[in-house]
Amino acid sequence: MYILRCNLLPKTFHGLVLGETTASALEQYDRMVRQFIRKWLRLPHDTPTAYFHAKAADGGLEIPRLRYVIPVMKNRRISKLEGSLDPVMQYVVTSPSFLGIKARSAKVAKVAGQVLDTGRDVKKLLATQLYTSVDGRGLRQQRQTPRINNWVCNGSQLLCGGDYIAAVKVRGNLLPTQERSTRGRRTAPTMCDAMCNAQGTLAHISQSCTRTHLLRSARHNSVLDYIVTKAEAKGYNVVREPVIPTRVGRRKPDLVAEVDGVILIVDVTIVADHCNLDSPFEEKVTYYNTTDIVDWIIATYPGKVWEFGAVVFNWRGALNRRSSVLLRRLGVSAGDETLLSCRVLTFTSSMFKFFTQSTVRAGWRAVL
User: CA–CA separation, 141 vs 58, rounded Å?
Assistant: 8
Q: How far apart are the first and last CA of the chain?
A: 41
Q: What is the pLDDT of residue 365?
A: 47
Does residue 191 register a pLDDT over 90?
A: no
Do residues 266 and 230 touch, judged by C-beta distance below 8 A? no
Nearest CA to 101 out of 93, 91, 110 is that of: 93
Q: What is the pLDDT of residue 188?
A: 64
Give the pLDDT confidence of 60-113 residue by residue, as tens digits: 999 999 999 999 999 998 888 888 888 888 888 888 888 888 888 888 888 888
User: CA–CA separation, 217 vs 222, rounded Å?
Assistant: 9
Q: What H or E segment, with its residue span, contains residue 305? A: strand 305-314
Q: What is the pLDDT of residue 344?
A: 96
Which whole number is the average pLDDT over 353-360? 85
Give the pLDDT confidence of 215-271 residue by residue, as tens digits: 999 999 999 999 999 999 999 999 999 999 999 999 999 999 999 999 999 999 999
Rounded to the nearest 5 percent, the helix, strand and coil shares of the chain are 55, 10, 30
Q: What is the pLDDT of residue 97?
A: 87
Phi then psi for residue 59, to 5 deg, are 115, 0
Nearest CA to 18 out of 83, 86, 63, 81 is that of: 81
Select the more confidently predicted residue: 365 or 26: 26
Give the pLDDT confidence of 303-326 residue by residue, as tens digits: 899 999 999 999 999 999 999 999
Select the more confidently predicted residue: 130 or 98: 130
Q: What angle do CA 325, 326, 330 make, to 5 degrees?
A: 120
Parse the chain into domains and list their residue ranges.
2-133, 147-368
Does residue 184 register a pLDDT over 80?
A: no
Phi then psi for residue 265, to 5 deg, are -105, 115
Select the more confidently predicted residue: 189 or 268: 268
User: CA–CA separation, 73 vs 68, rounded Å?
Assistant: 9
Q: What is the pLDDT of residue 361?
A: 63
Q: What is the pLDDT of residue 360?
A: 66
Q: How confident is the model at residue 368 (pLDDT cuts 50, 70, 90)?
A: very low
Nearest CA to 266 out of 323, 318, 316 is that of: 323
- How many other CB atoms are there within 10 angstroms of residue 102's CB atom? 17
Q: How confident is the model at residue 44 (pLDDT cuts 50, 70, 90)?
A: very high
202's CB contacts (< 8 A; 6+ apart) are: 170, 173, 175, 177, 180, 315, 348, 352
Share of the chain above pLDDT 70, in %: 96
Q: What is the pLDDT of residue 113?
A: 82
Does residue 283 register a pLDDT over 90?
A: yes
DSSP track, 172-199: TT-S--HHHHTTT-TTS--B-TTS-SSB
Q: What is the pLDDT of residue 366?
A: 46
User: CA–CA separation, 260 vs 257, rounded Å?
Assistant: 10
